[in-house]
């Protein structure tokens, strides 16, 4: 049997945490013969796109073909890919991010079965063949006549975490007994938090200039404040794959970012150690001498899982931390009201329009800030304030005191961690979702080309 598996996805979070474990599992269940089963990834536009999603998808050895987001609308409207791909007569469209209407259109055009992974909401029940949902509560909200289409598969984000942990373990086993220092791409945790008494705090200021402009100086100023009062704290920044170190460091430089002084921060410089020196990874060194390590391996789930607490901004980071059950403080500084332009959907598109985008951003952010919290994904999922959200003209001292209070009362962090675990679904989602795809392939009749009244192929 020859068949195409067409994966539809969009943003960086979906490509790394959903697509990666699913294509791995599909190959394990359907085989690695590329002449029989072909896996293609088609990306749709996303306001939070980094522009490197296609390259990330191409790096997965299980994937045969990838089309970048800039060619999506031509494919959706006319059915033609940029490279004029051919398609087998049998296939399944698998939705892993974007708009759930996309698999409806593309599935009908290719005459393929459709499988949708629905994390919190499922749509187009009558036009999609199967749904794999994270929790049973998603299926409970659909009409009973469509209930047979729904299967609880679990949490793909947890699957991605387990996948990385397994790979890290394999690399650690292969590296055991080897001499010499670790390179920058090592999957082992930073040496600076190997001491039992060390408290590791993750710093996630974002990946886009609109967030980094305020996020970098604010979080580094908080780190200085906390470290001065609690020297056993260590700080690490998991650098986004779309961000180079020089660009990140620019936002900590008072000569290049006017917001550095706004937050009472003296600035930081990038240090890239030479090979063979005591320090193994690059770091930002602040004016007080604090060294904040820069972790460039992605995804960084193994590292984040070791953090007792993270400082982050709104966005996909909060979803990933929530899936890992890592306590967090979500920061939304408003010293520059039009700086936050990374909202999802239509607000994000309007806020990033040329010329008028700044005005839209100010209005959108003003409206958002008037609502009562629930800006972080774990809070949206739970519909309650599971993790604290700090919004306003934030300063390092007030946030630093909250961090110190959490560290002094670990039972508060344990309570947040337990709530985060209760929100998400069970692991094992990739295997169950791949099984749904396999079942749909077995159900599908080979599509037949249309014929005219004389039986000739049209």
Mean of the pLDDT values across residues 285-313? 91
pLDDT interval class at 276 (50, 70, 90): low
Cα separation values, 445 from 1, 2, 150, 241, 421, Å: 12, 12, 21, 42, 41
Separation of alpha carbons 71 and 47, rounded Å: 15
Q: Specify whether 139 is located in the same domain as 202.
A: no
Residue 177 maps to a domain: no
The per-residue pLDDT for 307 is 96
Same domain, 271 and 291: yes
Residue 40 in any domain: the answer is yes
| Position 267 pLDDT exceeds 90 | yes
Residue 181: what pLDDT?
34
Rounded CA separation 260/189 (Å): 29
48 in the same domain as 108: yes
Is the same domain home to 53 and 129? Answer: yes
Taking residues 250-272, report their average pLDDT. 91
Quick one: pLDDT band at residue 365, thresholds 50, 70, 90?
low
| 246 in the same domain as 125 | no
Domain count within the chain: 2
Q: Is the pLDDT of residue 182 over 60?
A: no
Query: 9 forms bridges with which residues in the sheet?
Result: 43
Residue 329 included in any domain? yes
Greater pLDDT, 143 or 278 = 143
Q: What number is the average pLDDT over the span 419-426? A: 81
Report the chain's mean pLDDT, rounded to a whole number. Answer: 82
Per-residue pLDDT band at 277 (split at 50, 70, 90): low
pLDDT value of residue 352: 56
Q: What is the pLDDT of residue 376?
A: 87
Asked whether residue 445 carries a pLDDT value surpassing 80, the answer given is no
3-state percent breakdown (helix, strand, coil) of the chain, nearest 5: 40, 15, 40
Are 406 and 435 within one domain?
no
Q: Using 50, 70 and 90 to split pLDDT, how confident is the model at 255?
A: very high
pLDDT-based confidence at 366, cuts 50/70/90? low
**Of 396, 347, 353, residue with least CA distance to 235:** 396
* Residue 169 falls inside a structural domain: no
Comparing 53-62, 276-285, 376-385, the range with the smallest average pLDDT is: 276-285
- The per-residue pLDDT for 35 is 92
- Are residues 144 and 229 both part of a single domain? no
What is the H or E stretch that residue 7 is in?
Answer: strand 3-9
pLDDT of residue 202: 97
Is the separation of the CB atoms in 44 and 98 below 8 Å?
yes
pLDDT tens across 234-244, in order?
999 999 877 88
State residue 164's pLDDT score. Answer: 58
Q: Mean pLDDT throughout 34-45?
A: 95
Q: Quote the pLDDT of residue 373.
A: 62
Rounded CA separation 241/167 (Å): 18
CATH number for 68:
3.40.50.2000
Q: Based on the domain organization, do 117 and 198 belong to the same domain?
A: no
Whether 383 is in a domain gets the answer yes
Q: Give domain status of residue 453, yes or no.
A: no
Examine residue 173 and state whether it is found in any structural domain, yes or no.
no
Cα–Cα distance, 329 to 387 (Å, whole number): 6
Q: Are residues 13 and 151 in the same domain?
A: yes
Please determine, for residue 180, whether its predicted confidence score (pLDDT) is greater than 50: no
216 and 365 together in one domain: yes
User: Is residue 172 assigned to a domain?
Assistant: no
Longest dimension (CA), the chain: 86
Same domain, 119 and 219: no
- Residue span of the structural domain in which 398 resides: 186-423
pLDDT of residue 184: 37
Give the pLDDT confidence score for residue 92 in this predicted structure.
97
Report which of residues 335 and 215 the model is more confident about: 215
pLDDT, tens digit, 9 for 90 and up, residues 75-125: 999 999 999 999 999 999 999 999 999 999 999 999 999 999 998 889 999
Is residue 118 located within the same domain as residue 21?
yes
Q: Is the pLDDT of residue 410 over 90?
A: yes
- pLDDT beyond 60 at 60: yes
pLDDT tier at 3 (50, 70, 90 boundaries)? very high
Least confident range from 140-144, 158-162, 310-314, 317-321: namely 158-162
pLDDT mean over 259-286: 85
pLDDT at 455: 42
């Amino acid at each position: 049997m020859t068949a195409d598996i067409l994966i539809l996805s969009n943003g960086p979070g979906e490509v790394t945490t959903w697509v990666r474990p699913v294509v791995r599992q599909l190959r394990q269940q359907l085989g690695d013969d590329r002449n029989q089963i072909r896996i293609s990834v088609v990306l749709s536009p996303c306001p939070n796109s980094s522009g490197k999603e296609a390259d990330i998808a191409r790096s997965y050895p299980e994937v045969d073909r990838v089309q970048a987001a800039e060619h999506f609308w031509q494919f959706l409207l006319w059915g033609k890919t940029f490279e004029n791909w051919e398609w087998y007569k049998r296939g399944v469209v698998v939705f892993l991010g974007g708009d759930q209407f996309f698999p409806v259109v593309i599935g009908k055009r290719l005459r393929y079965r459709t499988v949708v992974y629905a994390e919190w909401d499922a749509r187009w029940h009558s036009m999609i063949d199967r749904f794999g949902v994270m929790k049973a509560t998603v299926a409970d909200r659909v009409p009973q006549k469509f209930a047979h289409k729904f299967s609880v598969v679990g949490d793909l984000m947890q699957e991605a975490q387990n996948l990385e942990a397994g790979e890290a373990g394999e690399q650690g086993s292969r590296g055991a007994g080897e001499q010499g220092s670790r390179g920058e791409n090592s999957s082992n945790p930073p040496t600076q938090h190997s001491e039992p008494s060390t408290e590791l705090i993750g710093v996630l200021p974002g990946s886009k200039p609109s967030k980094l402009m305020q996020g970098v100086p604010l979080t580094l100023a908080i780190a200085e404040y906390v470290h001065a009062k609690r020297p056993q704290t260590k700080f690490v920044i998991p650098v986004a794959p779309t961000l180079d170190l020089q660009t990140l460091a620019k936002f900590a430089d008072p000569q290049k970012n006017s917001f550095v002084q706004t937050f009472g921060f003296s600035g930081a410089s990038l240090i890239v150690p030479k090979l063979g020196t005591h320090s193994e990874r690059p770091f930002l060194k602040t004016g007080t001498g604090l060294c904040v390590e820069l972790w460039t391996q992605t995804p960084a789930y193994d590292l984040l899982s070791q953090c007792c607490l993270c400082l982050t901004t709104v966005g996909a980071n909060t979803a990933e931390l929530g899936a890992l059950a890592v306590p967090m403080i979500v920061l939304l500084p408003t010293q520059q009201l039009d700086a936050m332009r990374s909202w999802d959907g239509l607000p994000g598109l309007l806020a990033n329009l040329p010329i008028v985008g700044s005005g839209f951003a100010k209005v959108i952010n003003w409206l958002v800030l008037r609502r009562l919290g629930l800006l972080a994904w774990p809070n949206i999922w739970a519909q309650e304030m599971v993790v604290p959200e700090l919004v306003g003209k934030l300063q390092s001292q007030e946030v630093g005191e909250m961090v110190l209070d959490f560290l002094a009362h670990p039972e508060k962090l344990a309570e947040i961690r337990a709530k985060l675990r209760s929100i998400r679904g069970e692991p094992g989602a990739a295997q169950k979702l791949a099984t749904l795809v396999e079942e749909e392939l077995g159900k599908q009749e080979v599509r037949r080309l249309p014929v005219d009244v004389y039986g000739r192929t049209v």
